[in-house]
Amino acid sequence: MPEELTVYFSRIESSPAGPLLLAATEKGLRCLQFDRGKLPIAASNERWIESRERLEPYIGQIQAYFRGELRAFTCKLDLIGTKFQKDCWEALLRIPYGKTCSYAEIAREIGRPQAFRAVGQANHDNPIAIIVPCHRVLGANGTLTGYGGGLSTKEKLRRLEGAAFRLPGSAPQPGNGNNKDDGVERQAEFLY
C-alpha cells in the first residue's frame, strides 16, 4: 500500500482572476485553479487538509503578481502529469512575463512540431494556472484562444502583463502585432 500523501489547500476568495484554489505537497505547489467550489478528486493515497499557513508563500507570490510587483515566480512546483504534459508545461514556464507564443511554437520547442493540438490539450490540463502561464499562449494569428478561467480572465492577465494579443475577430491592439516591446509604458488596469 502506498504511503499516505498530505496535500494542503487554501483559497483566495477574491482576485482579479476570480476565486482561486491552491494546493501543495511538501515538494511544492500541486494545484492552482479557478475555484468553482469543489476540491479536485484526491488520489486514493492522498489526504487533503485545509491550511492557509502552509499555502501562504504561494498566496503571497500570487498576490504580488496581481499587484504588478512580481514578474517571475520562484516557488517550487510539484507537477503531476505525463512526460509530454510536463514537457509542455516546462516550455510554458520559459515564456517570459509580458511575452506570448503559439501552440505551434511550443510544439516545435519540445521537438514535436506536428503536435500543436496535443500541446493545446496539455495546456487545457495544466494544473497550475497563472504560475505555469498557459495564458501566454495565443492562437497562430495572435488572438486569444480558450482558457480554463474564461477568455475575459485571459484578457485581464494579458493586459496586466502588457502583452500583445488580439481579441477574436478584432484588429490588433495598439502597440501589438509583432510581440516586441513598443516602448510604451503600460500600467495594469486592475490591482489586487
Q: What is the 3-state secondary structure (H, E, C) of the chain?
A: CCCCEEEEEEEECCCCCCCEEEEEECCEEEEEEECCCCCCCCCCCEEEEECHHHHHHHHHHHHHHHCCCCCCCCCCECCCCCHHHHHHHHHHHCCCCCCCEEHHHHHHHCCCCCCHHHHHHHHHCCCECCCCCHHHEECCCCECCCCCCCHHHHHHHHHHCCCCCECCCCCCCCCCCCCCCCCCCCCCCCCC
Average pLDDT of the residues in 44-66: 96
Of the ranges 109-118, 153-162, 168-177, which one carries the lowest mean pLDDT score? 168-177
Question: Does position 148 have pLDDT exceeding 90, yes or no?
Answer: no
Instruction: Quickly count: other Cβ atoms within 10 Å of residue 126's Cβ.
Output: 23
Distances (CA, A) of 24 to 36, 52, 68, 70: 18, 11, 24, 20
Which residues have C-beta within 8 Å of that of residue 79, sequence separation ≥ 6?
A: 30, 86, 89, 127, 128, 132
Average pLDDT over residues 11-30: 96
Residue type at 12?
I
Residue 1's pLDDT is 61
Grid coordinates standing for 144? 486569444
- Contact between 153 and 17 (Cβ < 8 Å): yes
pLDDT digits (tens, 9 = 90+) for 85-140: 999 999 999 999 999 999 999 999 999 999 999 999 999 999 999 999 999 998 87
Report the C-alpha gap between 126 and 89 in whole angstroms. Answer: 7
* Enzyme catalytic residues: 134
Instruction: Specify the pTM.
Output: 0.83
Q: Which one has a higher pLDDT value, 44 or 22?
A: 22
142 vs 93: which has the higher pLDDT: 93
| Mean pLDDT, the chain, integer | 86
Q: Note the pLDDT of residue 78.
A: 97
What was the pLDDT predicted at 55? 98
Q: Flag whether pLDDT at 74 surpasses 60.
A: yes
Which carries the bigger pLDDT value, residue 30 or residue 145? 30
pLDDT of residue 131: 97
